[in-house]
Structure 1
């Protein structure tokens, strides 16, 4: 069977042999069980045919424009096999890989420790991206051994030419690293785990380590972006949200739209890749189905794209920002407390903020207006632009809810967590928002509700929790007197009466009503379609 051995990427980038093999049972490379090779399609053209040693066996190898197929060469006089000999069946089986799973091709050399070039040619190494388990992607190698330099050079040339024809794969990336994310590990994460893979795939990078809050936003407003095929953010949810906001804001500027009054935003032409290096990484988890650095990097290298809905936030008719989610009330106050104590270690700061907010738990008197998804869809069928209805079209179809609320969440993405899901039945590009209202209740009941987020139990199954599927929502606090919880008053630079909002992990302070509207598929993120990924199964075992 096909044996794909995974070595250290940092070693493979310079030497495809991948360094020394581990001892004992761990030295055995994984054996990947692939389905039987399908018959060649009419569109599959044979480009080359030759002999290579694969997994210790001489094989007849055929390269087409879409696949690499091989079959072990049978000895001239094989011993007569017993009836039903499975070993004989195994030896005659054709195996294959699809070239769309290959992201790099290198000549394989044997070199001394100090030798940088030359050496003894061993063959060709193909680097593949394959799904292992739980949506994780891994890089593997397939070695085609042959000592003929002309033979290997010809094959490597054909293989590399095929890879250049995958036009969706990036060739140049702008990388933004937030060195202060979580435990200040983002720089290490990039240079130790991400950069070696990007170099292996021969992707050019321009790296900027941000120096202050808002640095990425300022850079994206002024940077020459046309030379890049995508933007990469290494950090947490707040960093990713800032970069997404900057990309979309730049797209509006380039389109000549007044960024103070954005009603119908244009899409950004550049995709965004997110390398999870924050404390929660909710956005990356929702995108990839798992928080895994190599998985995120391989999605970027392979050019997997996922269109994602984005919200606009505005107040009194003036545009505030783009974002994927917002939390008002308990979630906003907790973040405000945490931001006041940035000097604390991340985990300690989060626990402190949670305890302080619970200790002063207090509902907010609000009026909430929203446009249900069904209404918006009906109106869209009548006429309207690509983003649905305008407020005047649905003036009599908005619904209102008022009362005292402990927490209000507005989400355009699923917000996958481990092990639970913050917003069940929500997709990345459904064109709708999940509005979750948590009405006033006792502190013990509210704590019980919060604990459900860390379990598989339904956190929405409480009598004081209401959910709606909407396309727009307006939230108006009715006690416009600011927040005061003892020794800390939350206020912004322009007003003493600002209310704290948690927008994708960033603190946003607003004094009055906030209008949130979803815009379908406004940005593309590097990442695979979760439904397609779940259908792609790969079994690993060890012989």
Structure 2
């Protein structure tokens, strides 16, 4: 159940953002496609038939209920020509070996939104030798958008895939889960966060908890496995200590369970969503700008957005209230909603102009931050890291950001403050301090009016008023190892 834009890669196993397909698979020997016992074609219903270029040949392609078959289209020649008979040998792929499908596009700088359609790419699993499996691709080239759309829709229907952002959420809220031992998602941080959010919402629904205002949420009923297939893979990296597909898979196979803290985000007394981390200010602005350039690859658009946001760096004028973490309180009591002690019921407040505010319940390890964005936080200690960067010069803020990529202390700056907290309230004191990413001096504008952009687990959340963030200890079980042994010192 992946997550992606309509027309991007969709699959029962993968959740990547839209990107150009890998090179054509014309170099793969035909024997790999045609190996094994061919399913009986006579009794199968033909779903579609058409012409595609496969490799360098124009082929007659037939899609049936169980297999995709094709053979090169050749001019008629005298019968009995053994060489000609070999060239016309039919090849096939069983549909059970196809795990993903996407439209293949070619983009250029002048084609920022539409691009040129090249055809369809199938992602398949092949048996290479004995019991060894190999992933490969098969490109079905046809420049007709109508022709490709019909075939693409048919493949999506066969694979029973998610088609848009939020589709996995709607599926998990309604489907029957009693017969499952866990849920596994393959994708990036946004998709993994969406699935976790859906599992937790389902738990509230089953326990008849009012979802408009969730004060003491119920734990998720099923564990979640995350296999990294995104651009940053913060959640998987924090879980396993490394964004490694085999490691993530083995944790799931072995049943290694790790309880993980989860945050709730609410505003003006209304619940918004569950999540693991959030950024307000620079982190939110950069993501909002990156969303406007989705025709770029994920890494390119984020790098571009960061550079452009740094070029127009402006602070947010806001008031931040927080409840300090009380390490003496039992986590199980907190998870059950027990009253806090008088000591821990004392809120603290700071105000001013801030370049960035980070609130993180997990370490947030990634390739650009080997120690983590919040290295002093653990997966399940019942606390959040509140990291505040006050207004400073652009060069000093860039030094702070660069420090994340090294083993040095990224918080050793006079304008950076860190707190260990249980709850945080961020209240912007003016909604005209922001700026439009497309304009030099204009205020930031969104589809929701005068809203402020938040980066929640890599997803854009726009809120116009105060945001209240609470951490809930060990709210969901994830398949993973003990992160305390993995974080670099």
Deviation at 1:461, TM superposition (A): 0.8
In structure 1, what is the equivalent of residue 362 of structure 2?
413
1:349 maps to 301
For 1:255 and 1:292, the matched residues in 2 are separated by: 35
Contact 1:482 1:498 in 2 (8 A): no
- Structure-1 separation of matches of 2:468 and 2:475: 18
Kept in 1: contact 2:334–2:473 (CA 8 A): no
* Aligned equivalent of 2:336: 386
Contact 1:371 1:398 (C-alpha < 8 Å) held by counterparts: yes
Shift of 1:475: 0.5
Q: CA deviation at 1:308?
A: 0.2
Decide whether the 8 Å contact of 1:230 with 1:273 is kept in 2: yes
SS, match of residue 483 in structure 1: coil
Gaps of 5+ in 2: 1-34, 39-98, 104-120, 134-157
Structure 2 SS opposite 1:296:
helix
Query: Alignment partner for residue 434 of structure 1, among 385, 400, 410?
Result: 385
Change (3 A) 1:360 1:197: farther
CA–CA distance in structure 1, aligned partners of residues 426 and 226 of structure 2: 30
Matched, 1:513 2:462: no
Deviation per CA, 1:334-373: give whole Å up to 9, x if none: 0000011111122221121011111110001111100101
Match of 1:501 in 2: 454
In the superposition, relative to structure 1, how do residues 502 and 208 fare at CA in structure 2: closer, same or farther (>3 Å)?
farther
Residue 444 of structure 1 corresponds to 395
Return the offset for 1:254: 0.9
Q: Deviations over 1:193-233 (max 9, x none)?
A: 9xx999xxxxxxx9753211111111111111112111111
* Shift, 1:385, TM fit: 6.7
When normalised by structure 1's length, the TM-score is 0.58
Q: How far 1:177 sits from its partner (Å)? A: 8.3
CA distance in 1, matches of 2:478, 2:359: 20
* Partner-residue secondary structure (3-state), 1:209: coil
2:213 is aligned with 1:264: no
In the TM superposition, what is the alpha-carbon distance from 1:458 to its structure 2 partner? 1.3
1:428 CA drift (Å): 0.3
1:456 partnered with 2:416: no
What CA deviation, in whole Å up to 9, does each residue of 1:444-483 have, x standing for no partner?
A: 0001111111111111111110000000010001012373
Report deviation, 1:437: 0.5
Shift in alpha-carbon separation, 1:394–1:256, aligned structure 2, 3 A: farther
How many angstroms apart in 1 are the aligned matches of 2:452 and 2:269?
Answer: 17
2:436 matches 1:480? no
Equivalent in the alignment of 2:87: none
Q: State the 1:386 CA deviation.
A: 2.6
Q: Distance in 1 between matches of 2:101 and 2:169?
A: 12
Deviation string 1:390-429 (CA, Å, 9 cap, x unpaired) is: 6x96796100011110000000001112333211221100
Q: Indicate which of 335, 349, 352 corresponds to 1:400.
A: 349
- Partner residue of 2:196? 244
Query: What per-residue deviation string (whole Å, max 9, x for no partner) do you get for residues 86-145 of structure 1?
Result: xxxxxxxxxxxxxxxxxxxxxxxxxxx8699xxxxxxxxxxxxxxxxxxxxxxxxxxxxx
**DSSP-derived class of the 2:472 partner:** strand
Match of 1:467 in 2: 418
Mind listing any 5+ residue stretches in structure 1 that lack a counterpart? 1-112, 117-175, 181-186, 199-205, 535-543
Equivalent position of 1:359 in the other structure:
311
For residues 411 and 333 of structure 1, the distance between their equivalents in structure 2, rounded to whole angstroms, comes to 18
SS of 1:507's equivalent? strand
2:230 matches 1:281: no
Question: Residues 376 and 385 of structure 2 are in contact (CA less than 8 Å); yes or no, is this contact kept in structure 1?
Answer: no
Deviation at 1:389, TM superposition (A): 4.2
Could you tell me how far apart the structure 2 residues matched to 1:178 and 1:481 are? 44
Check conservation: 1:251, 1:268, Cα contact below 8 A.
yes
Quick one: which of 513, 526, 543 aligns to 2:479?
A: 526
CA distance in 2, matches of 1:464, 1:189: 49
Which residue of structure 1 lines up, in the alignment, with residue 27 of structure 2? Answer: none
Structure-2 change in CA distance of 1:505 and 1:296 (3 Å): same
Q: Distance in 2 between matches of 1:190 and 1:439?
A: 50
User: What's the CA shift for 1:509?
Assistant: 0.4
Question: Equivalences for 1:175-254 in 2 at 5 Å?
Answer: 208-254=160-206
1:422 is paired with a residue whose SS is coil
1:189 positional shift: 8.7
> Is the partner of 1:441 in helix, strand or coil?
coil
Give the SS at the match of 1:444.
helix
Distance between the aligned counterparts of 2:417 and 2:267, measured in 1? 24
Q: Distance in 2 between matches of 1:281 and 1:114?
A: 36
Contact kept in structure 2, 1:314 and 1:516, CA below 8 Å: yes
1:469 aligned counterpart, secondary structure? strand
Q: 1:487 Cα deviation (Å)?
A: 2.6
Superposed structure 1 runs of 4+ greater than 6 Å apart: 113-116, 176-180, 187-190, 392-396
Tell me the TM-score normalised to structure 2 length.
Answer: 0.65
Residue deviations 1:53-110, cap 9 Å, x none?
A: xxxxxxxxxxxxxxxxxxxxxxxxxxxxxxxxxxxxxxxxxxxxxxxxxxxxxxxxxx
The 3-state SS of whatever aligns with 2:404 is: helix
The residue aligned with 2:107 is none
Relative to 1, partners in 2 of residues 1:533 and 1:400: Cα closer, same or farther, differing over 3 Å?
A: closer
Is the CA contact (8 Å cut-off) linking 1:197 and 1:297 kept in structure 2? no
The corresponding residue for 1:329 is: 281
- In the alignment of these two chains, the number of paired residues is 345
Q: CA deviation at 1:292?
A: 0.6
Look up the match of 2:290: 338
d(CA) in 2 for partners of 1:420, 1:267: 29
Q: How does 1:66-77 map to 2 (within 5 A)?
A: none
The CA RMSD over aligned residues, in Å, is 3.2
C-alpha distance in 2 between matches for 1:420 and 1:384:
28
